[in-house]
Structure 1
């Protein structure tokens, strides 16, 4: 029996779910002038600022999983839109710190509410966002995200 007839692989399902989520968030935050990637950046920045942190672009890239160069591009666009400010880190002149502007906080808080509603809808089949199955699913996703992936390891096992 061929691998294709056994049904979708977990990797395929993760990819499909991530695409479904990205498209839904893109559509939901578009009226606020944001894309999914911009939302990921400002929502993460909002949370970090709420904890008293003024992160560098590098730190925000690490937090979001986005490439540092892409974070820099997004930050410039968000700065042009008046949603965040970029300043040099006084401790490291090579680093750029990010902070939401007042307008950026307002837009981000509205976007977070919209996306939280989407997340509630997504998690309904698992008993809702606060349900036991959703919490278990979150733990499983966290475990998968924490698992190292090394493409070169696969090549090692295929060689004689």
Structure 2
């Protein structure tokens, strides 16, 4: 006997929240000439630079969860737009390091401010970003992000 419809599944809700956030960020950063994906690359690069890192495209892909080929495509576009520079790594000629230009730092700083305001709006129903409920939400999301899903990618023969 199957259960009657009990509401949306957790997977559906995660997908909807992710989509809602992406669309909201796209709209918020559009006046700065950015998309959500460009923002993710720039803001991650900005944060890594502030920590003293000079990441390669591969390291940035690992940090953001975006595919390395997509990072490469975005990086080329952002380079043409004058927001980043791409340099060959002297220690590993296969690697390309990314650096924000002065204009890139300025645009990214403005975009971070806009997205932080948007995040404040999103988290307000949970009591705001500094609230205990929000902190618990972040912990739960982190648990889900850290959970491996590899077992679902194996073929029937491998099981």
CA distance change for structure 1 residues 155 and 24 in 2, over 3 Å: closer, same or farther? Answer: farther
Question: Are the structure 2 counterparts of residues 4 and 74 from structure 1 closer, same or farther at C-alpha, using a change threshold of 3 Å?
Answer: farther
Q: Distance in 1 between matches of 2:3 and 2:87?
A: 52
CA distance in 1, matches of 2:125, 2:156: 38
Q: Structure 2 unaligned runs (5+)?
A: none
RMSD: 1.6
SS in 1 for 2:97: strand
Who is 2:42 aligned against? 42
Inter-CA distance 73–4: structure 2 relative to 1 (3 Å threshold): farther
Q: TM-score, normalised by structure 1?
A: 0.94
Q: Give the equivalent residue in structure 1 for 2:149.
A: 149
Alpha carbons of structure 1 residues 4 and 14: separation in structure 2 relative to 1, 3 Å:
farther
Q: Report the 3-state secondary structure (helix = DSSP H, G, I; strand = E; otherwise coil) of the residue aligned with 1:87.
A: strand
Q: Count residues with an aligned counterpart.
A: 157
Give runs of aligned pairs for residues 4-153 of structure 1, distance below 5 A.
Answer: 5-150=5-150, 151-152=152-153
Partner SS state of residue 99, structure 1: strand
Aligned-pair CA distance for 1:52: 0.5
| Displacement after TM superposition at 1:154 (Å) | 9.0
The SS at the match of 1:141 is helix
TM-score (norm 2): 0.94
- Name the CA shift for 1:136/1:51 in 2 (closer, same or farther; >3 Å): same
How far does residue 153 in structure 1 lie from its aligned partner after superposition?
5.7
Structure 1 position 152, deviation (Å): 3.4
